[in-house]
Each structure stands twice: as structure tokens, then as C-alpha cells.
Amino acid sequence: MRAAVLKEFKAPLEIVDFPRPTLGDGEVLVRITAAGICGSDVHMWLGEDPRTPLPMILGHEGVGVVEEIGGPSPKLDLRGRQIHPGDPVIWDRAVVCGKCWFCAVKRLPNMCRSRWVYGIHKGCSEPPHLNGCYADYIVLVRETKIISLVDWDDLDPAVLVSVGCSGATAANAVELSGIEIGDSVLIQGAGPLGLYLVGYAKARGAEHVIVVEGVPSRIELARRLGADVLLDFASTTAEERREAVMSVTRGLGVDAAFEAVGRPEPVLEGIDLVRRGGTYVAVGTAVPMGTIPIDLYHHVVAKQLRLQGAWTNDTRHIVQALSLVRGNSAVFADMLTHRFALEQANEALQSMAARTAIKVAIVSFADS
Ligand SMILES: [Zn+2]
Ligand SMILES: [Zn+2]
């Protein structure tokens, strides 16, 4: 069972053959039909993510088909449906304890102290080895939350992979923002995260969704998801963007703004465009990126800004992402710009690193 293994940061991944694992009770062996390349994977490959041990199998976004279920007990998905070999499934990339203060009391499983994620936190030296999605197969531990996809008629697993990470994270960010019907929203960046934010903001009833983005193909996808005002970062000045936002919001500023660029530079411009008493959500910066100077009085206190971080997601946000993709499947299909085979995992990472792609997936071409 092959996997693309990261043995050394910045070096090419190597295809390694692992033995077929012996499953414990409740464990599920899944044949991966599509693995998403996340922007975070590029950071991990470069050694910029503090969480990753070596050697490891990258890939925390996956869709697959159940190959084998360990033990005698029936295996159920989140809706209580029994899972059988041959069923298409998606799963929560995070495994949490369910018993700690954050899981049980604060209902913030994304803050669980024991939380770990397939393709991020575990090395692959020990059996069953297969714990990342850049592989032919993955072993899901008993506690993994699985969603059966048997009722997805037109299933293209590659189009669905992004729901597990960027789609779910964006749903969490939008929930935390508290957007209401009629609100004005600014989204900085229209990569996968920003595009999901556009879709959710419109679904929540935002009247004006303003997107700042420099790549024409991304601007077009944002427009198709319902963005009303599209500001080309490449051909506008900060002053022109400010005029455009103030014109749409009658001089007030937006109710909520989102950083979905993955860098801290746009944050001050974004905060400046939020209305008094509004919310700024930082969600795109997923690795340490240094500091930015915030004028606490002007930026935060005197305008009563709510500065909100958004880190990953809970399982309900994956369900929300599935719902958004189902309602906009043609747009999300076009968001997936590149498909590669497992043995091209390095090219897949490079295309994401070069930002030539919007969304990239490693697919099992036998399924497509
Ligand atoms: Zn991710
Ligand atoms: Zn916990």
C-alpha cells in the first residue's frame, strides 16, 4: 500500500510501500479516492508548521471508499447508518478526546488538548503507518467521525475533498463572525477558504459581499458564488478599495471582514474597513507569520472592534460545507484546477506552492 512520505523538509516526497495493516475493533481501512492539497501542506513540506514529526504522510483532506472494517461490531456513521465495504465516505480529519474541559464543557473540540489530525500530527514509522491521505489507503481509528456519502448521486471525490478543511474552517469562521441578514461583509482573498466564506456569507443573508483578490480566475469564482463587489487587488490602491467599500456601506464600513489570504499584511486594511462595533475575523494565517503593529486605541478600543480568531472547525462545520458544495457543485468543480496521481505528489505540492492552482487534488484515476 503506497504512500508519499515526507522524510526531510523541502526535499521531494518519496513513494514508500507499507504492508497491509491488521485492523483493531472499530478501525476502518479506507481506499483513498481523492486527497486534497491544502495550503498548510506546503507549509508542512517547507518545515514551517510547528506540529509535524518526520517521517510522515501528508494529507489531511480525504475522501475514500471503505475497504475493510475491523472487528465484529457494526460500524455506524454520524447519522447512525451502518457502513459497509464499498461505501464512499468522508471523515473528520481531527480526532478529539470528548472528555476534556474544551470538548465537554466549553463545546470547543477544536481546542481539545488531545486533538490530533490525520496527515499533520503523527509520524508514519509505527504500525499501522497509514495515517495521511497522500496514500492509496488510510486507517481510520475507532474514534474517527465518519460521514457516509452513499446518497451522493454524482459523487466526484476530488471536488469534495476541500469540505474537510477549508470548507469546514470557513464555516466555523462565519459562525464566529455572527453575520446576520442584510449585513455587509468584506473577504480578503478568494482562494478555497475565501470562496467558501463568500458562499456562507450569502447563505446567511449578507446583502453585500465584497471580495478583494488579485487573480482573475478566483475573482470570477467569487462572483459566481454571489460576491456583489469584486475589487482587483492588482489594479486598485488601498485608497480606491476604501472608497469602494465606503460607497457600498454608505460610509459606515462593513459589519464583518475576514482575512483569508494566509498572511498578516492585509489585516490592518481590513480592520480599517470594519464599521464601529463590527468584527474582524482572522482565519487564513495557519502558521506563525510574525507580528503586525496594531494601534490598540484607534483600531480596537475606540471603535469597539471585535477581533476574532478562527482555528479549524467542529464536525458540524463539515456537514455545513457538504451542504454548500451540494448547492454550488459546478462552481466548486471549477475551483479544483489540478488533478495529479499519487506518484505526482511532488508536482501537486509544487503547483500549490507556486499559487498557479486554486485547489489541487491527488486522485485515484481508476475512479475518475
Ligand atoms: Zn488544511
Ligand atoms: Zn478534548
Interatomic CA distance for residues 121 and 289, integer angstroms: 20
Residue 235, phi-psi category: left (phi > 0), alpha (psi -120 to 50), beta (remainder)? alpha
Residue 148 reports pLDDT greater than 60: yes
Which residues are CB-neighbours of 158 under 8 A, at least 6 positions away?
33, 34, 63, 336, 339, 361, 363, 368
pLDDT band at 232 (very low <50, low <70, confident <90, very high): very high
What is the model's pLDDT at position 368?
Answer: 53
Which residues are CB-neighbours of 105 under 8 A, at least 6 positions away?
none
What is the model's pLDDT at position 96?
Answer: 98
Residue 170 reports pLDDT greater than 80: yes
Q: Which ligand is nearest to the CA of 166?
A: 1
Phi, psi (5° rounding) for residue 200? Answer: -65, -40
What is the model's pLDDT at position 1?
Answer: 95
Distance 71 CA to ligand 2 centre (A): 26
State mean pLDDT over 257-280. Answer: 96
pLDDT tens-digit map of 48-98: 888 889 999 999 999 999 999 999 999 999 999 999 999 999 999 999 999
Residue 134 reports pLDDT greater than 70: yes
State mean pLDDT over 329-339. Answer: 96
What is the model's pLDDT at position 286?
Answer: 85
What is the model's pLDDT at position 289?
Answer: 87
Assigned C-alpha cell, 278: 463590527
Interatomic CA distance for residues 209 and 170, integer angstroms: 15
DSSP-assigned letter for residue 103:
I
Residue 68: strand pairing partners = 29
Distance 203 CA to ligand 2 centre (A): 31
Angle at which helices 315-327 and 192-203 cross, to 10°: 80
Q: Which ligand is nearest to the CA of 311?
A: 1
What is the model's pLDDT at position 177?
Answer: 98
State mean pLDDT over 275-288. Answer: 94
Q: Which ligand is nearest to the CA of 98?
A: 2
State mean pLDDT over 167-187. Answer: 98
Q: Are 198 and 332 in contact (CB under 8 A)?
A: no
What is the model's pLDDT at position 173?
Answer: 98
Helices (H), the chain: 39-45, 157-160, 166-177, 192-203, 216-224, 238-248, 267-272, 315-327, 329-335, 345-353
What is the model's pLDDT at position 355?
Answer: 79
Distance 17 CA to ligand 1 centre (A): 25
Distance 126 CA to ligand 1 centre (A): 24
Distance 117 CA to ligand 1 centre (A): 10
pLDDT band at 367 (very low <50, low <70, confident <90, very high): low
Interatomic CA distance for residues 358 and 225, integer angstroms: 15
Q: How much is the pTM?
A: 0.96
What is the model's pLDDT at position 366?
Answer: 65
State mean pLDDT over 330-342. Answer: 96
* Average pLDDT of the chain to the nearest whole number: 96
pLDDT tens-digit map of 6-37: 999 999 999 999 999 999 999 999 999 999 99
State mean pLDDT over 226-252. Answer: 97
Interatomic CA distance for residues 34 and 196, integer angstroms: 19
Distance 100 CA to ligand 2 centre (A): 4
301 burial class (0-12, 13-18, 19+ CB within 10 angstroms)? exposed
Distance 16 CA to ligand 1 centre (A): 23
Return the closest-CA partner of residue 65 out of 130, 136, 131: 136
